[in-house]
Amino acid sequence: MKNLAVFSGLLALVVLSCTEQPADRHSALIATGISVAKGTEIVCVDIDSGAVMNTTPIDCYLFGSTVYDPTTKGYGFVDCHTTFNLINPESGKLIKSIKLPGNVTHAVIDAKDNLLIGRYATMIYEEDPDTIDTKSAKAGPPIYTHYIIRVNLSTGAIVSNNEIDLGDGAYATTYYYNEKEKHYVLYRADKYLITINPATAEIIKELYIGKTLSNSVYNPVNNTLICLSYSTVDMSQAYSYSADSLSYSTDDYIRTYLTVINHETGAVISNNLIESGGGYQANIAGYDRENNWYIAVNSKFEVVCFDVSTGEVKKRYIPEDPMKDMKFWRRY
C-alpha cells in the first residue's frame, strides 16, 4: 500500500469504432455526456445536425467512470452508491445495473469479452485504521490500496479483482485498453506509461514519457496514443499591455499541442501546435477514424474536431447545455 497523491484530471476516453464501413453508407457523429444545467442528466446529441436526441435524468455519477459500450450501444457510469449503470442514451432505457465493491474509475470496455475494466482504491489511516474522520490530524495521512477489477457485463459477476502497486497514483486523463493484446494501460504519477495484464494486475511494461499528457485516446489501427501536451514560454514575455491595464492570459504562456506518440517506444510521431481554447475540459476526448479527427472540448464547452495529421480545426459544435464526461461514436 502506498500513500496516494491527488489524482489529476479526469478520463474517460473512447476510440470510435474501428470496423470498416462502406464509403457510401451514411453515418452520424454522436456525442453523449452528462449535463447539470437542468438537473443531472445524460444528454445524447447528433453533432452533425446539432439535434438533441434524448435526455435521461440520473441521480449522480462518479467523474471518470463513464464508458461507451459498442455491443449494447450503451453509455455507462458509476453512481454515488458504487453501482455501474448502463443506459441506452437514445431511449433512456436501463440496460444493466451492477453493484461494484468500490468507486471504479479509469473505466474501459473489452467488447470482445464483454467486460468492464477499471481501478478503484480502499483507504485507511496510518495511525488509526478504523477511523473515517478526515478531519482527525491524529489519524495521520491516508493509505490507499489500489485494485484492478474486471466485471462481466452480461452476468454482473466479478471476474477478477487484484491488488496493484500504483505508487503515488495514476493520472485520470490518460488510460485506455488495447483489446487486441488484452492490455490495460494507465499513466502513473511518475510519468511512466504502464501496461497491465488486467486479469492478474501484473505490470508487464513500464515506458517513461516524462511529460504531462491529458485527454488521451488510443488508436488501435496504428498503435498510437493521441493526446494533448503542453509547453510554457518565458513569463517575462507573457504580459501584454493594453490602454487600460497590464494583463496576461494563460494563452500567452502555455502552448497546447496535439501530440501523437508511438505506444511501443514512446517516440513522438507528430506534435502540432493547436489553439489553446482557454484550456480543455478534462476527461473528454475522442477519435473519429472516419475523418481522422481528434475530438476535445474547450473551456467554453465547445466541441472541437482537429485533423490529427495537421492540428487544423475541421469542425466546431456548441451544445445547448455544457456536458462533461462525453463519449463519441458513429451511428450508421
32, 43 contact by CB (below 8 A): yes
Segment 108-121 shows an average pLDDT of 97
pLDDT digits (tens, 9 = 90+) for 199-237: 999 999 999 999 889 999 999 999 999 999 998 765 554
Q: Is a pLDDT exceeding 50 seen at residue 257?
A: yes
| Cα dist from 108 to 75, 149, 150, 232, whole Å | 12, 11, 10, 32
Asked whether residue 223 is domain-assigned, the answer is: yes
Q: Is a pLDDT exceeding 50 seen at residue 18?
A: no
The pLDDT, as a whole number, for residue 58 is 96
Asked whether residue 8 is domain-assigned, the answer is: no
Q: Is 233 left (phi over 0), alpha (psi -120 to 50) or beta?
A: beta
Q: Is a pLDDT exceeding 90 seen at residue 53?
A: yes
The pLDDT, as a whole number, for residue 254 is 82
- 78-82, 246-250, 257-261: segment of lowest average pLDDT: 246-250
The pLDDT, as a whole number, for residue 187 is 96
Which residue segment(s) compose the domain that 253 sits in?
13-331
Q: Is a pLDDT exceeding 90 seen at residue 249?
A: no
The pTM of this model reads 0.84
pLDDT digits (tens, 9 = 90+) for 56-74: 999 999 988 999 999 999 9
Asked whether residue 6 is domain-assigned, the answer is: no
Q: Which residue has the higher pLDDT, 241 or 119?
A: 119
pLDDT digits (tens, 9 = 90+) for 157-190: 999 999 999 998 999 899 999 999 999 999 999 9
The DSSP code for 296 is E
The pLDDT, as a whole number, for residue 133 is 52
The pLDDT, as a whole number, for residue 142 is 80
The pLDDT, as a whole number, for residue 234 is 57
As a whole-number percent, the residues of the chain with pLDDT over 70 amount to 81
Asked whether residue 108 is domain-assigned, the answer is: yes
The C-alpha cell at 123 is 483507504
Residue 235: strand, helix, or coil: helix
Q: Is a pLDDT exceeding 60 seen at residue 14?
A: no
As a whole-number percent, the residues of the chain with pLDDT over 90 amount to 70
Phi (first) and psi of residue 235, to 5 degrees: -60, -25
Asked whether residue 26 is domain-assigned, the answer is: yes
The pLDDT, as a whole number, for residue 278 is 77
Q: How many domains does the chain have?
A: 1
Asked whether residue 5 is domain-assigned, the answer is: no
Q: Please count the other Cβ atoms lying within 10 Å of the Cβ belonging to residue 260.
A: 20
Longest dimension (CA), the chain: 67
Look over the chain and give the mean of its residue pLDDT values, rounded to a whole number. 86
Q: Is a pLDDT exceeding 50 seen at residue 245?
A: no
Asked whether residue 203 is domain-assigned, the answer is: yes
Segment 86-98 shows an average pLDDT of 97
Segment 36-64 shows an average pLDDT of 94
The pLDDT, as a whole number, for residue 114 is 97
Asked whether residue 1 is domain-assigned, the answer is: no
CATH number assigned to the domain comprising residue 35? 2.130.10.10
Phi (first) and psi of residue 102, to 5 degrees: -165, -175
